[in-house]
Amino acid sequence: MTDLDIDLVLVPVDGSEESHEAVDYAIAVANEYDASVHALYVLGEDVVRAIETGAIDEADVADDTESFTDSVIERAEAAGVPHGNSIAYGFSTKVKTVHPGSVVLDTAEDLDADFIVVPREPVTGGPVEVLEKAAEYVLLYASQPVLSV
């Protein structure tokens, strides 16, 4: 058995309760391996379309995600884990290959993440819970170890 060398744990989130649980697991993994954690807030199709049509302002969306991001920061700091965060569009009206799963994996590669903790959303989730379909995709195609919670 080989030891894992983990410097960065990526956790995609969408503001759901399952995302909060995934963050807790990601912080625990990062703490165990003396790594940092990065929360990627993935915006769903409805939100992306509303931004692109001007129905809502992108700055307002960033403000709305801030409370979730703040809770991630508080929990990471309480555990003494270095942290970062970002927001990404999990859908594109221009590029067919952009979906929540591909966005998570692209971000993992861009950040050189060593481990991914992905929330396993219930299939009955509402439209705000954009990661329900991404979990399976990430499990199938990630080159990093993945923990699905």
What's the CATH code of the domain at 28? 3.40.50.620
Residue 77 lies in a domain: yes
Which pLDDT value is given to residue 1? Answer: 39
DSSP H helices, the chain, are 17-32, 45-53, 58-79, 100-111, 134-141
Residue 140 lies in a domain: yes
Residue 134 lies in a domain: yes
Residue 110 lies in a domain: yes
8 Å CB contact between 21 and 14: no
Which pLDDT value is given to residue 9? Answer: 98
What pLDDT tens digit does each residue of the chain (149 aa) get?
357 899 999 999 988 888 999 999 999 999 999 999 999 998 877 887 788 888 888 888 888 788 889 999 999 999 999 999 998 877 766 776 778 889 999 999 999 999 999 987 655 445 445 676 688 889 999 999 999 99
Residue 3 lies in a domain: no
Q: What is the DSSP string of 49-80?
A: HHHHHTSS-HHHHHHHHHHHHHHHHHHHHHHT
User: Which residues form the domain of 55?
Assistant: 8-148
Residue 129 lies in a domain: yes
Beta-ladder partners of 115: 9
Which pLDDT value is given to residue 93? Answer: 65
Q: State the total domains in the chain.
A: 1
Which pLDDT value is given to residue 70? Answer: 92
